[in-house]
């Protein structure tokens, strides 16, 4: 991908359905024997790969624009494409529904972005607390669990995907399951709301304690995925740096209070009206501190784009991400572009601004680093070439086309 920077942007961007809500909701369709219709599904690589995994199990999938019709009436867990499991982290979301439905599953270590250690420990803890057993042989995990035993599940950490697996296992358990220290992110809420639409009985949605009353079976439903808060935050950073006026919609402000507050304290000019956000550049940006944390804290997926924002803020900014030790790979790439960045340790980054960025050859590294370096390239003087830019497509659909529509100068390698 080749980018010529310093182009002023203007226009509107439609926010796609949330990546991190789409993957668990699509995995949850494995629990439903009837037909399910899901709207606002983002057309991204991670979703396409997960659909291929579902189809390898025997799920019937029909595409209708940004909607999908899925039927998991006749599926075979032994037919799971193990190689595809290794290619994406979201495949970990198959553990809960397949165990709940069939009682056993063999799966390799899921793959995905190289952003640090992402063990299965929290997922194993969930299975064992449900009365299941886990054996590891090399890279293969064998899970066995008869109909989950209800009771109390205490998550060892605020893990989003482990919470989602626990919920998906609990909806068909006999009796009531209480899930403590549950993640409460908007995409976890969306999964719970989807399951309730299918006949589940989940209470405490949006809190760190979920109560799930098991049901014998789920029924079909029609459901729309929430807009992607990470897209909103990403494009808000872009607008704050380069836009004469940029409109983003639909936006659910209550899903991103920490991000909106940080933009406000930085001095970024933006307004909210209904489900529409308008943002522009031109404000004098103040240095800042960001600590990522479980919702409603600042999301880890947005600390990298805010790293670019820090290069244009006056003074010394600190970004602290305690969750992953490999999330700061983009720092070295920003230094190539002229940014003054010091990685204090695997979890803390110091960025001194305001600095001019210059185009050069850089590498995507991972999904969030990739979109961050794309923003930096749009801001930089001259031309930048981003290698392995296809990684960005894991979470942002048609990104080059969408940005060209608001004035960006981007050429893709295949053009």
Task: Using CA atoms of 314, 316, 320, 324 in order, give the dihedral in degrees to the nearest 10.
Answer: 90
**pLDDT at site 118:** 55
* From 9, 68, 107, 113, the catalytic residue: 113
Q: Which two tokens stand for residue 226?
A: 């929430």
pLDDT digits (tens, 9 = 90+) for 152-209: 999 999 999 999 999 999 999 989 999 999 999 999 999 999 999 999 999 999 999 9
Nearest-angstrom CA–CA distance, 116 and 346: 10
- Which residues lie across from 178 on neighbouring strands? 152, 211
Give which of 369, 363, 366 is closest to 349, Cα–Cα.
Answer: 369
Determine if the peptide bond prior to 250 is cis (ω within 30°): yes
Domain boundaries, the chain: 2-16+227-411, 19-224
Mean pLDDT of 45-69: 95
- Neighbouring C-beta atoms of residue 393, cutoff 10 Å: 18
Nearest-angstrom CA–CA distance, 358 and 380: 5
Q: Which two tokens stand for residue 299?
A: 């999301």
pLDDT digits (tens, 9 = 90+) for 222-280: 999 999 999 999 999 999 999 999 999 999 999 999 999 999 999 999 999 999 999 99
Which carries the bigger pLDDT value, residue 310 or residue 325?
310
Nearest-angstrom CA–CA distance, 392 and 396: 6
Nearest-angstrom CA–CA distance, 39 and 183: 24
**pLDDT at site 116:** 46
Q: Is 113 a catalytic residue?
A: yes
Query: CATH number of the domain at 2-16+227-411, please?
Result: 3.65.10.10
For 322, which DSSP code?
Answer: -
**pLDDT at site 124:** 93
Whether 2-16+227-411 and 19-224 share one fold: the answer is yes
The sheet with strand 104-108 has its strands ordered as 104-108, 140-144, 133-137
Q: Do the beta carbons of residue 319 and residue 335 sit within 8 Å?
A: no
Query: Per CATH, is 19-224 categorized as 3.30.1060.10?
Result: no
């Amino acid at each position: 991908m080749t980018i010529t920077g310093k182009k002023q942007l203007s226009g509107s961007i439609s926010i796609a359905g949330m990546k991190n809500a789409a993957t668990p909701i699509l995995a949850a369709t494995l629990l439903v024997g009837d037909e399910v219709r899901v709207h606002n599904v983002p057309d991204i690589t991670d979703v396409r790969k997960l659909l291929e995994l579902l189809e390898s199990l025997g799920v019937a999938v029909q595409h209708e624009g940004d909607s999908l019709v899925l039927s998991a009436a006749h599926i075979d867990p032994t037919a799971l494409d193990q190689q595809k499991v290794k290619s994406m982290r979201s495949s970990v979301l198959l553990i809960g529904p397949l165990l709940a439905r069939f009682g056993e599953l063999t799966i390799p270590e899921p793959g995905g972005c190289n952003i640090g250690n992402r063990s299965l420990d929290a997922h194993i803890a969930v299975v064992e607390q449900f009365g299941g057993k886990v054996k590891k042989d090399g890279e293969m995990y064998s899970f066995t669990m008869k109909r989950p035993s209800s009771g109390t599940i205490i998550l060892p950490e605020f893990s989003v995907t482990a919470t989602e697996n626990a919920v998906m296992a609990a909806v068909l358990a006999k009796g009531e399951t209480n899930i403590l220290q549950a993640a409460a992110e908007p995409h976890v809420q969306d999964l719970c709301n989807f399951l309730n639409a299918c006949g589940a009985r989940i209470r405490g949605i949006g809190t760190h304690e979920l109560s799930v009353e098991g049901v014998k079976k789920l029924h079909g439903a029609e459901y729309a995925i929430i807009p992607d808060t990470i897209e909103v935050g990403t494009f808000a950073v872009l607008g704050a740096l380069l836009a004469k006026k940029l409109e983003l919609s639909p936006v659910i402000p209550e899903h991103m209070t920490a991000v909106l507050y940080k933009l406000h304290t930085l001095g970024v000019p933006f307004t909210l009206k209904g489900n529409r956000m308008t943002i522009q550049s031109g404000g004098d940006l103040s240095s800042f501190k960001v600590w990522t944390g479980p919702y409603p804290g600042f999301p880890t997926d947005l600390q990298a784009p805010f790293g670019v924002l820090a290069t244009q803020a006056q003074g010394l900014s600190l970004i602290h991400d305690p969750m992953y030790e490999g999330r700061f790979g983009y720092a070295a790439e920003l230094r190539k572009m002229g940014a003054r960045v010091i990685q204090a340790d695997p979890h803390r980054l110091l960025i001194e601004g305001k600095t001019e960025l210059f185009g050069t050859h850089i590498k995507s590294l991972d999904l969030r680093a990739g979109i961050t370096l794309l923003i930096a390239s749009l801001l930089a003087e001259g031309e930048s070439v981003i290698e392995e830019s296809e990684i960005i497509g894991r979470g942002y659909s048609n990104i080059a086309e969408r940005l060209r529509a608001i004035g960006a100068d981007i050429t893709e390698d295949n053009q």
